[in-house]
Amino acid sequence: MAREFSTVGVVGLGTMGAGIVEVFARNGIDVVAVEISAPALERGRATLKGSTDRAVAKGKLAEADRDALNERVHFAVGLDALHSVDLVIEAVPEHLDLKQRIFAELDRVCRPEAILATNTSSLSVTEISVATSRPNQVIGIHFFNPAPVMKLVEVVRTVVTAPEVVADVEALCARLGKVDVTINDRAGFIANALLFGYLNHAVGMFESHYATREDIDAAMKLGCGLPMGPLALMDLIGLDTAYEILDTMYRRGGRDRRHAPVPLLKQMVTAGLLGRKSGRGFYTYERPGSPVVVPDEATPLATDGALADGARAIAKVGVVGSGTMATGIIEVFAKAGYEVVSVTRGMEKSAKVCEAVKTSLNKGVVRGKLAEADRDAALGRISWSATLDHLADVDLVVEAVVEELSVKKALFASLDEICKPGVVLATTTSSLPVIDVAMATQRPADVVGLHFFNPAPVMPLVEVVRTIRTSPEATATARAVCAALGKTGVVCGDRSGFIVNALLFPYLNDAVKMLEASYSTADDIDHAMKLGCGYPMGPFELLDVVGLDVSLAIQRELYLELREPGFAPAPLLEHLVTAGYLGRKTRRGFRDHSHR
């Protein structure tokens, strides 16, 4: 039987500590809440009161339950108040020497059988435990912020943590209504090890002026369904906290360059730009501690009218290709009021594309998302062709043919001869260099990438890719077209993976490496990212959906271009692809889908 915890102590009543106090008190456990001074104690008391009052106001907590909760919390200055608790959780700032001093003192104060736990998110639990004479009773219990809301707890055992201590803490997590994942003591554990490599990469992207902060954040929210963009999330976490976590993980985790803090991060911390808490980070906030973003000198000006910035007028659009992507793009343009010329190789393919567009539009009518008259009008705007010559009078061409450079270059050379001057020529490539396609024409200034996401009618994001030869007018035209389609266009340079894939796939590759090292299971890693970081899918769920072969191809491209050792494809990913385990499409990937 797991032991019953009747009283727990919490050391440190910042946002995290006060949240942990609330979690225990909500679940009927008495809490001794400790701070270093009376003013700090009052701040902690105010944080707890603010959180519980908000829960009452939102109807998530009855007034009687709030009052009972507050009754269970005893506030005290100094660690001596913890002499009779069953478990202590420390939630002080992430400094090893500070935590070691506190644990040495807790070892002296607490009963011999009490469990001592740290809420560290990046430091070594083992190094903290050796400050005590009972390292077998020391464990990591890593809650996520805000603790009352977030479901995940990482339970971190060291090589000497007693098995019964682990079992007791796992049972406690279940009593608190949390989902626990139990792991060994390694830099960053699961969630931070995967999250912070991605966040650091996003800062590097911003530092190199590859894309604006707004476009990087919009790309990850709209392209991946994440609750927040990486730079807004960094501001929420605090840039000083993020720097400490990355620096610790870099030093402890084998000096992986993915975790070496980007220089800009250190500069911002030194300048006092710490994110929301200081009122300024990657964004500027109404006041310190406020979540409300206000415009600053880096905020893009709102362009009035579709033809701002020298954008050209677009009325007629050609779409070349007959696959899913081409079909979706034809539908998007036709619904938005553009005249569309669909060009495929042969009338048989045209008939198939026409049928697919009709089916999709009819679904929209059945679901009540499209009026019958609008469906008929959209179909009336499309003309079907099997010859490129019919693109002679269009204003924009969108190419959505097979991802082979030779095929795309040949197509663009033909378009160069057929299309009138001033036409914007766009490729939907997701992996090839746009400049290679552009240089197959005599008009590289008019060539851009327009990377739609699948399914194009649903996904709100388009990556607008400008090469070093793309003119500002062509970029402005592409942005204006995205806006007219009701899409969010994000502008980036012509680098492998653009924004979304360049940030997403190294994170997925890191998850495979974590599994490969037997650090955790696919299920626990997926749980950690969904419950700890609010991701819509765990990395292994997503890999199986995308296809392991597709994922490997993208990761190889990124590695070839950046030559960063941390981007080398995980051997396990290569082995699964070689074995034909490609994910859902072959009914076997990281998981077996044959019975689903």
Residuewise pLDDT in 10s, the chain (596 residues): 778 899 999 999 998 999 999 999 999 999 999 999 999 999 999 999 999 999 999 999 999 999 999 999 999 999 999 999 999 999 998 889 999 999 999 999 999 999 999 999 889 999 999 999 999 999 999 999 889 999 999 999 999 999 999 999 999 999 999 999 999 998 889 999 999 999 999 999 999 999 999 999 999 999 999 999 999 999 999 999 999 999 988 988 778 888 999 999 999 999 999 999 999 999 999 999 899 999 999 998 765 444 556 899 999 999 999 999 999 999 999 999 999 999 999 999 999 999 999 999 999 999 999 999 999 999 999 999 999 999 999 999 999 999 899 999 999 999 999 999 999 999 999 888 999 999 999 999 999 999 999 899 999 999 999 999 999 999 999 999 999 999 999 999 999 899 999 999 999 999 999 999 999 999 999 999 999 999 999 999 999 999 999 999 999 999 998 888 889 999 999 999 999 999 999 999 999 998 76
In which residue are the tokens 């079909």 written?
A: 327
**Nearest C-alpha neighbor of 218 from the set 207, 198, 202, 204:** 202
The question of whether 51 is a catalytic residue gets the answer no
Which structure tokens are listed for 184?
């060994």
Predicted pLDDT of residue 331 = 97
Say which of 142, 259, 451, 527 is annotated catalytic.
Answer: 142
Which structure tokens are listed for 27?
């679940």
Question: Is 379 in contact with 357 (CB distance < 8 Å)?
Answer: yes
The question of whether 192 is a catalytic residue gets the answer yes
Predicted pLDDT of residue 64 = 94
The question of whether 201 is a catalytic residue gets the answer no
Predicted pLDDT of residue 85 = 97
Provide the whole-model pTM.
0.91
Question: Is 211 in contact with 89 (CB distance < 8 Å)?
Answer: no
Beta-strand (E) ranges in 21-159? 30-35, 73-77, 87-90, 115-118, 138-143, 152-157
Say which of 51, 90, 119, 121 is annotated catalytic.
Answer: 121
Say which of 122, 124, 129, 192 is annotated catalytic.
Answer: 192
Say which of 35, 154, 214, 541 is annotated catalytic.
Answer: 154
Which structure tokens are listed for 561?
């271009």
- Give 105's contacts (C-beta < 8 A, 6+ positions apart): 79
Q: Where are the alpha helices (DSSP H) in 58-177?
A: 63-71, 96-109, 125-129, 163-175
DSSP 8-state assignment for residue 65: H
β-pairing verdict for 293-294 and 284-285: antiparallel
Q: How far, CA to CA in Å, does 48 sit from each of 25, 32, 64, 196, 447?
A: 11, 13, 16, 28, 56
The question of whether 142 is a catalytic residue gets the answer yes
Predicted pLDDT of residue 304 = 46
Q: Is residue 368 left, alpha or beta, with left meaning phi > 0 and alpha meaning psi from -120 to 50?
A: left
